[in-house]
């Protein structure tokens, strides 16, 4: 350790007592000893002073180090604690006393831990220093509490003010006043709260009335409000605020007037459209809602369409009753009306002609709906029909088929009451997507769906008509699908076991996809016409020809054959098979008729039961000729001279067996004793 020099101060000369002794050796020794002792004492004193000074220095150094620790505590954790407590007091979490007590308690605990590292001789000084700091900080809590109380009071008043504005106006002052009474704020400030409440109430009333008037397009209410502002009815508002409101009201009035002008012009422009919709509702026989009638009356009022509206509303009951009649009865009444007008002069022929024209319009519209969209006619009767969802045809074809049959059943019932109704289970708007979904099915998918459609129609009145109509729609007019349905329903097979329905669908798909060369159309048509002769004509012949082409294509593919190009002649073997499968077989009956010049007529052709060969057919004919000959007395030879005509459209026998008329050259059936005589194919139903 560094030695601290010690000053000896100023040394003054001192008087010395001298003793004279004899100049012997002893005196010299004594002086030497005395000097040594004196030097030792002086050295000891010097060392004591230095030790004391060193102790004081160390104490001072320890005290300063302790002060640093105390100051560090006061400027860190103590300061943080003080800040937290100040925030709590400022936020109203604690009051000043609670904060002071907590700060004192916390500081004492922290100082106790800190004092273990402080010098003992200075701890009292440190404690006084810390307590003084605690006292100074604690004194700052009270102003914060007062400020927090003031803010809390203001916050409560503001909340009370907000709630008061939501109450009925007559209760607002009373509610806010109950909070102002106990508030520790100046009376001037209380009065300001009440004045602001009146101002806010006036503004709320004005804003509400303006909003309601604008929502209801009520210009008169806005004008009344503007007048009240001018008269000072809202006393709480200053002049500038009232003036601003009047400007806003004037702007809204101008906007509403412009809007009303536009809306009025729009009403006039659309009056014709509204009237047409109203006419449609009247003419279809729908019940009219009183509100709807009033809306239409308002829409056409004062326009060129008002007279028409008055006419239709006066006659609406008659029109509705007429619309509910079936079309046959409607036409009957129209003709009666025309006859009456022709035979009886009218006082107002113009009105009667207009009335008749309306009835004719109702009839024509209903007739068109029944023919083009029978589903719409059913809906107008209030019938809810199953949904026709094209996606269902792929995912659940059985349900799709069931829906078609159900709709068809409704249409058959409607047709029973109105002969002009048609059977079209799929509505026009649904048909394009449904037809596409059907077209997307593969051959097996189409066959499966057709089978499901036929099975679900069994036991349903006119079930065959329903599924035939549905397939005609889904096939987009391609009757091959209907013919496939007929084949499926009758289980038509060739003697080799080939399924006709499958052949038709497969061939149709081949032709549609153009997957093979076909002979020239003229060659195929000539072969077909030569085979069927006069048995098929018109639409029936065209449909059968398309079926024949499909079967020809399928037979070619099934046998692994192909034409080199489109100029090739039809394959004779395939041609024969396709003709027989498509028609069921044609029988040629030699003609015995001669004209006036003696020339024999052309051989007669007749359709055989499906798949029956000539021998079996002739055997059944011979049995029929014999039975008729026995009962009529006409020879079998003469009977065989008559032409055969299969009853396609007539009523089959009571057992459902196929029958043939015997007709002369003029097409008249054999009648003996007022009875028509026919050959019945015993046991043959298809």
Band of the pLDDT at 220, cuts 50, 70, 90?
very high
pLDDT of 624 higher than 90: no
Band of the pLDDT at 24, cuts 50, 70, 90?
low
In contact, 585 and 612? CB cutoff 8 Å: yes
Residue 280: both structure tokens together = 């449609």
| Percentage above 70 pLDDT, the chain | 90
pLDDT of residue 5: 46
pLDDT digits (tens, 9 = 90+) for 52-105: 777 666 667 777 777 888 888 888 888 898 899 888 877 778 887 888 888 888
Q: What is the largest CA-CA distance in the chain?
A: 218
pLDDT digits (tens, 9 = 90+) for 350-384: 878 888 888 888 889 889 999 999 999 899 888 99
pLDDT of 10 higher than 50: no
Residue spans of the domains in the chain: they are 50-139, 221-324, 587-686
DSSP string, 215-249: HTT-HHHHHHHHHHHHTT--TTS-HHHHHHHHHHH
Beta-carbon count within 10 A of 317 CB: 11
Query: Taking CA 653 as the corner, what is the angle to CA 647 and CA 656, rounded to the nearest 5 degrees?
Result: 95
Beta-carbon count within 10 A of 251 CB: 10
Find tokens 């007091």 and name the residue.
Answer: 89
Mean pLDDT score, 253-257: 90
Mean pLDDT score, 561-576: 81
Q: Which of 151, 169, 248, 162 is nearest to 205 (CA)?
A: 169
pLDDT of residue 655: 64
pLDDT of residue 119: 82
pLDDT of 4 higher than 90: no
| Percentage above 90 pLDDT, the chain | 13
Q: Which of 479, 549, 483 is nearest to 517 (CA)?
A: 549
pLDDT of 650 higher than 50: no
pLDDT digits (tens, 9 = 90+) for 467-524: 899 988 998 888 888 888 888 887 887 766 778 888 888 888 888 888 788 888 888 8
pLDDT digits (tens, 9 = 90+) for 173-213: 888 888 888 787 888 988 888 889 889 988 999 999 999 99
User: What are the phi and psi torsion angles at 568 (to 5°)?
Assistant: -70, 150
């Amino acid at each position: 350790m560094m030695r601290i020099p010690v000053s000896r101060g100023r040394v003054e000369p001192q008087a010395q007592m001298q003793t004279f002794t004899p100049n012997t050796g002893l005196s010299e020794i004594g002086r030497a000893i005395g000097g040594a002792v004196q030097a030792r004492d002086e050295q000891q004193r010097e060392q004591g002073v230095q030790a004391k000074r060193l102790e004081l220095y160390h104490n001072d150094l320890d005290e300063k180090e302790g002060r640093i620790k105390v100051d560090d505590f006061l400027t860190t954790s103590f300061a943080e604690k003080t800040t937290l407590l100040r925030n709590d007091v400022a936020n109203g979490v604690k009051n000043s006393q609670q904060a002071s007590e907590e700060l004192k308690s916390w500081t004492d605990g922290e100082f106790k831990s800190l004092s273990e590292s402080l010098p003992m001789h200075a701890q009292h000084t440190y404690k006084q220093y810390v307590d003084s700091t605690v006292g100074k900080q604690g004194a700052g809590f009270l102003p914060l509490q007062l400020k927090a109380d003031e803010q809390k009071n203001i916050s409560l008043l503001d909340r009370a003010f907000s709630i008061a504005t939501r109450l009925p106006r007559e209760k607002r002052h009373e509610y806010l006043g109950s909070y102002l009474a106990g508030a520790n704020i100046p009376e001037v400030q209380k009065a300001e709260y009440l004045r602001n409440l009146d101002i806010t109430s006036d503004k709320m009333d004005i804003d509400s009335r303006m909003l309601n008037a604008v929502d209801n397009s009520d210009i008169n209410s806005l004008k009344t409000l503007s007048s009240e502002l001018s008269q000072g009815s809202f006393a709480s508002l200053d002049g500038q605020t009232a003036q601003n409101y009047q400007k806003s009201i004037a702007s809204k009035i101008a906007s509403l007037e412009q809007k009303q002008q536009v809306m009025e012009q729009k009403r006039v422009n659309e009056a014709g459209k509204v009237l047409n919709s109203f006419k449609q509702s009247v003419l279809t026989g729908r019940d009219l809602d009183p509100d709807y009638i009033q809306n239409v009356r308002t829409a056409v009022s004062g326009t060129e369409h008002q007279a028409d509206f008055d006419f239709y509303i006066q006659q609406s009951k008659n029109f509705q009753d007429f619309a509910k009649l079936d079309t046959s009865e409607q036409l009957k009444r129209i003709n009666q009306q025309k006859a009456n007008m022709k035979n009886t002069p009218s006082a107002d022929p113009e009105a009667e002609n207009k009335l008749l024209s309306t009835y004719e319009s109702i009839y024509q519209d209903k007739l068109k709906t029944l023919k083009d969209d029978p589903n719409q006619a059913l809906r107008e009767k209030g019938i809810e029909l199953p949904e026709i969802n094209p996606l269902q045809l792929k995912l659940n074809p059985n349900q799709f088929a069931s829906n078609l049959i159900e709709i068809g059943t409704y249409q058959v019932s409607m047709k029973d009451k109105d002969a002009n109704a048609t059977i079209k289970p799929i509505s026009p708007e649904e048909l394009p997507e449904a037809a596409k979904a059907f077209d997307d099915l593969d051959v097996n998918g189409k066959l499966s769906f057709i089978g499901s459609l036929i099975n679900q129609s069994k036991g349903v009145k006119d079930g065959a008509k329903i599924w035939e109509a549905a397939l005609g729609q889904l096939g987009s007019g391609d009757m091959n699908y209907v013919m496939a349905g007929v084949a499926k329903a009758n289980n038509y097979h060739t003697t080799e076991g080939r399924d006709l329905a499958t052949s038709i669908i497969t061939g149709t798909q081949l032709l549609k996809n153009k997957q093979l060369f076909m002979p020239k159309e003229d060659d195929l048509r000539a072969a077909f016409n030569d085979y069927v002769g006069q048995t098929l004509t018109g639409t029936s012949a065209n449909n059968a020809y398309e079926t024949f082409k499909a079967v020809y294509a399928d037979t070619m593919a099934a046998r692994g054959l192909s034409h080199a190009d489109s100029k090739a002649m039809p394959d004779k073997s395939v041609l024969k098979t396709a003709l027989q499968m498509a028609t069921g077989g044609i029988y040629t009956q030699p003609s015995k008729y001669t004209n006036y010049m003696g020339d024999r007529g052309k051989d007669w052709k007749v359709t055989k039961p499906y798949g029956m060969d000539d021998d079996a057919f002739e055997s059944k004919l011979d049995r029929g000729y014999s039975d008729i000959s026995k009962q009529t007395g006409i020879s079998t030879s003469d009977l065989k001279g008559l032409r055969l005509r299969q009853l396609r459209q007539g009523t089959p026998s009571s057992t459902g067996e196929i029958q043939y008329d015997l007709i002369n050259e003029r097409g008249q059936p054999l009648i003996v004793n007022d009875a028509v005589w026919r050959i019945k194919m015993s046991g043959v139903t298809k």
